[in-house]
Amino acid sequence: MGDVLEQKLNTVKFKKILFGEPAVFFIPAMKINDPKNKSLAEGMHDFLITEFGGYTSERGNILGYWREKASTDYTEHVKYIVAFKSKAKLRLLEKFIAELAKKLDEKAIYMETGNSSWLIYTQ
């Protein structure tokens, strides 16, 4: 787990547990929710639980727009958030996202870490 910091605020004692830096990534909702990709969604769940101890998933009106050549594309997304404490864990997540993108026939997946934004492209 993370570093534990015991605190006292007035008369309330509590603990804070540091999980690490957040990594946020967005998967196209139509693709990850497609019944034919059920095993990919289950595999992603298992991977995030096993390697990162858990994750948060946000569904709803998460819309992405971007320009490609002369047109603007649009996709609805599912947002995922995990915490990582080492560069090795971040690299593992990036590799997983690239593999997932390839299986979902996506050119790239948008990802945020700390103050940076990335596109993870498949090769």
Q: Does the domain made of 20-121 have the CATH classification 3.30.70.120?
A: yes
Q: Which of 69-73, 87-91, 106-110, 114-118 has the highest mean pLDDT?
A: 87-91
For residues 50 and 66, give the distance between their C-alpha atoms in angstroms, rounded to a whole number.
Answer: 33
Domain boundaries along the sequence of the chain:
20-121
**pLDDT tens, position by position, 24-76:** 999 999 999 999 999 999 999 999 999 999 999 999 889 888 887 888 888 89
